[in-house]
């Protein structure tokens, strides 16, 4: 799936099952096939963590098509006691850490699918 934020296009892998959501970016990096991971969720508060991730990520919470919260460059975590990054929305987008700052993506920006 391709989505746009401002004038920036991202090719995202869509995570729809609970199993896919739990695995997320654990042990993987982005490649030529995708540069973002999109999680379709029920509307409400959600918490994401970086357990067993190998790269820092920007975690973006989206309600409808509006960015409500961005956690910038969340570091990978190898322990069982990883911090949780919380926000509200019905969709969560993960991008390589630093992408939002580099491309001036901010809370309130609109996502186009």
Instruction: Round to whole Å and give the CA distance between 14 and 7.
Output: 21
Give the β-pairing of 2-5 and 111-112: antiparallel
pTM of the complete model beyond 0.85: yes
Domains of the chain, earliest start first: 2-112 (2.60.120.1140)
79, pLDDT greater than 90: no
For range 74-103, the mean pLDDT: 95
For range 41-62, the mean pLDDT: 95
Q: What per-residue confidence (pLDDT) applies to 66?
A: 98
DSSP-based three-state secondary structure for 82: coil
């Amino acid at each position: 799936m391709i989505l746009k934020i401002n004038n920036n296009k991202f090719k995202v892998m869509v995570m729809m099952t609970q199993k896919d959501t739990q695995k997320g970016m654990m042990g993987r990096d982005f490649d030529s096939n995708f540069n973002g991971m999109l999680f379709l969720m029920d509307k409400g508060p959600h918490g994401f963590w970086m357990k067993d991730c190998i790269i820092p990520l920007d975690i973006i919470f989206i309600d409808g098509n509006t960015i409500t919260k961005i956690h910038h460059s969340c570091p990978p975590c190898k322990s069982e006691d990883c911090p949780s990054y919380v926000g509200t929305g019905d969709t969560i987008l993960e991008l390589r850490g630093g992408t939002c700052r580099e491309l001036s993506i901010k809370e309130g920006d609109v996502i186009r699918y």
